[in-house]
Structure 1
Amino acid sequence: MISPRAEVALTDGQRDALTAATRAGSTLSGLGVITIILTFSLSRHFRNPMHRLIFINAFYNAFDVVCTMISTSGPAAGNSSALCQFQGFLNQMFPVADVLWTLAMAIDVYLIVFHCYDTMALRRLEWKYMLGITLFTFIPAFVLLFINTPDKGPMYGSVTLWCAIAPKWVLFRIVIYYVPIWTSILITMGLYLVVGFEIIKRRLALQSITSDTIPLDMDDTVMPAAMATADEPYSPTEPLPPRHVLSTSHSADESLVASKYGGYSTSVTHRGRQPPAKRSSLSFRQYILMPLFFFLALLSVWVAPSTNRVGSFVDPGFGSYPLLVAVGISGSLRGFWNGLVFVTVGIKSWKRRREAEGITMRPMTGDGRGRDV
Structure 2
Amino acid sequence: MLTMKLSQSQLYRLSIAGRTASSLSLLGVATIFTTFTFSEHFRGPTHRIMLINGFYNLFDFIATMISVSGPEAGDDSALCRFQAFSLQMFPVADVLWTVAMTWDVVLVVFYHYEPERLRRLEKKYIVVITTLTFVPAFVFLFIRNAEKGPLYGSVQFWCSISPNWVLFRIIFYYAPIWLLILGVLILYIVIGHELFQLRHELMLTSNDCLALSSRTSPSNESVRRTNRDDMKDLEGPIIRQQSAVSLRKFLLMPILYFLALLATWVAPTINRVYAFRHPGKEPYPLMMAVATLGSLRGFWNGIIFISLRSKARR
What interval of TM-score do these two structures reach, taking the shorter chain for normalisation? Answer: 0.7 to 0.9
The answer to whether residue 301 in structure 2 is matched with residue 338 in structure 1 is: yes
Please list the CA deviations of residues 237-276 of structure 1 after superposition, one character each: whole Å capped at 9, or x if unmatched. Answer: 44745xxxxxxxxxxxxxxxx328xxxxxx8635xxxxxx
Listed one character per residue, the Cα deviations across residues 92-150 of structure 1 (whole Å, up to 9, x for unaligned) are 00000000000100000011111111111111110110000000000010111111222
Structure-2 separation of matches of 1:180 and 1:58: 21
- Pair 1:202-2:207 in alignment: no
Q: Does 1:299 align with 2:295?
A: no
TM-score, scaled relative to structure 2: 0.88
Instruction: Determine helix, strand or coil for the equivalent of 1:203.
Output: coil
- The answer on whether the counterparts of 2:112 and 2:211 sit within 8 Å (CA) in structure 1 is no
2:114 to 115, 118, 121: 118
Q: Which amino acid aligns with 2:237?
A: S
Structure 2 contact 85–138 (Cα < 8 Å) conserved: yes
Measured in 2, the distance between the counterparts of 1:146 and 1:268 equals 55
Q: Partners of 1:180 and 1:212 in 2: how far apart?
A: 36
Q: Percent identity?
A: 51
Match in the other structure for 2:159: 163
Contact 1:203–1:209 (CA<8 Å) still a contact in 2? no
Q: Distance in 2 between matches of 1:239 and 1:142?
A: 59
Aligned-partner Cα distance in 1 for 2:231–2:183: 44
Q: Is the 8 A contact 1:285 1:345 kept in 2?
A: no
Show the 5 A alignment for 1:20-39.
20-39=16-35
Whole-Å Cα distance in 2 between the matches of residues 345 and 268 of structure 1? Answer: 20
Aligned to 2:61: 65
One-letter amino acid of the structure 1 residue matched with residue 172 of structure 2? I
In the alignment, residue 195 of structure 2 is paired with which amino acid? I
Partner residue of 1:259 out of 237, 243, 248 = 237
Residue deviations 1:17-52 (CA, integer Å, cap 9, x gap):
110000000100010001101111111111111110
Q: 2:241 aligns with which of 259, 269, 275?
A: 269
Q: 1:237 to 1:324 in 2, by over 3 A?
A: closer
Say if 2:264 and 2:297, in contact at 8 Å, map to a contact too.
yes
The answer as to whether partners of 1:22 and 1:328 remain within 8 angstroms in 2 is yes
What is the 5 A alignment of 1:348-359? 349=310
After superposition, the C-alpha distances for 1:1-32 in whole angstroms (9 at most, x for unaligned) are xxxxx955211111111100000001000100
- Larger CA Rg, structure 1 vs 2: 1
What is the Cα deviation at residue 201 of structure 1? 2.4
Q: Which runs of 5+ in 2 are unaligned?
A: 221-227
Moved more, 294-303 or 39-48: 39-48
Aligned pair in 2 of structure 1 residues 89, 289: CA closer, same or farther (>3 Å)? same
Q: Which residue of 1 aligns with 2:12?
A: 16
The reply on whether 1:329 has 2:292 as its aligned counterpart is: yes
Are residues 117 and 154 of structure 1, via their aligned partners in 2, closer, same or farther at CA, if it must alter by over 3 Å? same
Q: Please, which of 207, 212, 215 is the counterpart of residue 211 of structure 1?
A: 207
Which consecutive unaligned segments of at least 5 residues does structure 1 have?
A: 1-5, 225-233, 242-257, 261-266, 271-279, 358-373
What's the counterpart of residue 170 of structure 2? 174
Q: Find the aligned partners of 1:13 and 1:268 in 2 and give their Cα distance.
A: 60
Deviation at 1:315? 2.6
Q: 1:239 to 1:125 in 2, by over 3 A?
A: farther
Q: Cα RMSD over matched residues? A: 2.7
The 8 Å contact of residues 114 and 212 in structure 2, kept in 1 or not, is answered as no
Aligned partners of 2:211 and 2:244 also within 8 Å? yes
Which protein is richer in helix relative to its size? 2
Give the number of aligned pairs: 301
- Name the structure, 1 or 2, with higher relative contact order (CA <8 Å, separation 6+): 2
SS of residue paired to 2:230: coil
TM-score by length of 1: 0.75
From the superposition, tell whether residues 334 and 239 of structure 1 become closer, same or farther in structure 2 (CA, over 3 Å). Answer: same
AA paired with 1:269? Answer: Q
Is it true that 1:56 corresponds to 2:52 in the alignment?
A: yes
Determine if contact 1:212/1:284 at 8 Å carries over to the other structure: yes
Q: What do residues 163-183 of structure 1 show as CA deviations (whole Å, max 9, x unaligned)? A: 000000112101111122111
The whole-number CA distance in structure 2 between the counterparts of 1:118 and 1:216 is 5
Cross-structure match for 2:224? none
- Name the SS of the counterpart of 2:160 in structure 1: strand
Q: Is the 8 A contact 2:113 2:212 kept in 1?
A: no
Matched, 1:236 2:208: no
